[in-house]
Amino acid sequence: MTTADGSDTVERQSYWNHAKTFMLILAVNSSYFAQLTILVGAGAFARTIASVVGGESLVAWPASVIVIFIAALSPLVAQAADYWGRKWFIVILAAIGCVGCIVVARGTSMNMVIAGFCLGGVSSASSCLIHTVASEVLPRRYRSWAQATVNGSVGLGSIFGLCVGGALTRYDPNGFRTYFAICAGVYAFSALACAILYNAPPRQLQLEYTFGQKLRTLDWPAYVLITGGLVLFCLGLSWSQNPYSWTDAHVLAPFLIGCSLILGLLVYSWKMRSDGLLHHDLFHDRNFAIALGCIFIEGLSFLAANIFVPYSLSIYFANTMNPFQQALCYNLVFCTFLVSAFGAGYYVYRSKSVRVPAMIGFLSFLIFFILMATVNESTSQAKFWGYMVFCGLGLGFCITTLVTAAQFATPPELIAVTSGLMLSMRSVGASAGAAVMNAIFANGLSQCLLPRVAAAVVPLGLQQDLVGPLLVALTAGDLSKAAALPGVTNEIISAAATAMKQSYGIGFRYVFVCAAAFSAVALIASIFLRNPRAEFTPTIDAPIDGDPYVTKGEDERAMESCHEFVEIETSGKA
């Protein structure tokens, strides 16, 4: 039988070893679980770490460096794995993550801790391979289930990180050392499990070329452009409002240079090399471009929730919920994510549709952000717990569906690059989201904080020139210092605290309205996704038993491109 592209397919179902396949998926997913433990730790416990080792001004960097490394290295790792295999990239990068966790656990300064998180970011570059391996070792009709298991490990890792890390640091901030020592053990287990259980046969691309030929075949100009471009782009965004303004050279220089390098990558891939990192065959189906755009917005939306939902909990319920209880409330997002990821996998499998579940995901995000925009200082805790469900639904349905749609929209031999670009785009969206939302929040808060507090306390008898010191004391949580100011009474402190909550509420509202607008754009874009019903076949792209009942010509087409490139290189040298 012949496919639309003229290649031959085997007219029977692919045999697959269920036990070996499931053990392999469990092993690679354990690596993703480990990556989430360090990522959650970087975001949730950075301030706790700073209280022990110092460097409070650098608390935004542990999470930022991980996101930057994922964005910059995922495409490179994805394409290199096509020539050297997936296994040792996953194993070696997991070992690097183990070292990174040990460095963090033994950190004596924030710079040392950030260095450890940089190693954690390097290890997280293999996340695209986990999405790839889970999909290519199962029949294509189960691809959504494969992505559901991957996202299930993400949910479990997040839940583990928030619960275990929160419990260990609840009474003693030095508990972060124990937490990251546990993370190191999880990484070591995942590296060992992958080394033992991942024994897929090499594909033809791995055997055909020598080491030198493989190096020459890789798209090095694209790697330089995308790595440099994304690192500088994300660095500039990370520095915006943290601590520099948008007009400062620390922000503008890396941001503009990064944008120029990314533009150079697009021109290079369009005009100079059609079979490189941005292979032209990736864009024949509109679903891939739509999925890229949508997952950018999903990353932006998730970062908006990940930063400002816990922040709003700490402001509104500072006196009624301790940090561990606040973490448990936010943890409901990941509990719902865990369940909804499998719900999305089942829906896609049964309906052979990606349009409706993607719409459900972004509709859930839209509802969540609209609800959060209505929150104020009088909103009850119970409502917050309920709102978290919509955020978890959005995560589970969006990630599972969008990655499945992107992988079905591109040739099987480009599945690793497809996954790498998707994860990279999500990280870029997260970096952009953090910068944009922080700027929006800072602008909204700065416009109303001082005027509102002054309007609340000056009529009660406080001198105008003492409003600033009162704000500083209350922001630091130092009630004794606030009470020591001349003329300050309990009534004034209470009125100032209420005005502060109202001011922070306005800043939060601006953020959530902006996130809702982006979610609405993605909801509209997802309407145009094509349902790839014909792709739900029993074919296995990379069976682990070495019985490749795959479309004949997949590796051959990739090899032809490689042959052409190597021949050009050789003739050029001649």
Each residue of 300-310: pLDDT tens digit? 999 889 888 88
pLDDT in tens, 219-249: 889 888 888 888 888 778 777 766 777 788 8
pLDDT at 572 over 60: no
For residue 285, the model assigns a pLDDT of 92
Q: Could you give the CA distance from residue 162 to residue 165 in angstroms, rounded to a whole number?
A: 5
- Residue 319 neighbours by CB under 8 Å, 6+ apart: none
pLDDT-above-70 percentage for the chain: 91
Scan for tokens 């969540």, then name that residue: 368
Residues 99-123 have a mean pLDDT of 94
pLDDT at 573 over 50: no
pLDDT at 529 over 50: yes
pLDDT at 547 over 60: no
Q: Could you give the CA distance from residue 538 to residue 30 in angstroms, rounded to a whole number?
A: 26
pLDDT at 157 over 80: yes
Residues 353-359 have a mean pLDDT of 96
Label residue 51 by pLDDT band (50, 70, 90). confident
Q: Which of 152, 25, 43 is nearest to 90 (CA)?
A: 25
Retrieve residue 378's tokens: 């009088």
Residues 484-503 have a mean pLDDT of 87
Residues 467-478 have a mean pLDDT of 80
pLDDT in tens, 395-435: 999 999 999 999 999 998 889 999 999 998 998 888 888 87
Lowest average pLDDT, out of 15-29, 33-47, 80-94, 260-274, goes to: 15-29
For residue 374, the model assigns a pLDDT of 94
Residues 256-282 have a mean pLDDT of 89
pLDDT at 368 over 80: yes
Q: Which of 520, 402, 411, 498 is nearest to 453 (CA)?
A: 498
Residues 379-395 have a mean pLDDT of 93
pLDDT in tens, 167-216: 898 888 899 999 999 999 999 999 998 898 887 778 777 788 788 888 88
Scan for tokens 């930057």, then name that residue: 68
72-101 burial code (b ≥16 CB/10 A, e <16): bbbbbbbbbbbbebbbebbbbbbbbbbbbb
Label residue 10 by pLDDT band (50, 70, 90). very low
Label residue 558 by pLDDT band (50, 70, 90). very low
Label residue 19 by pLDDT band (50, 70, 90). confident
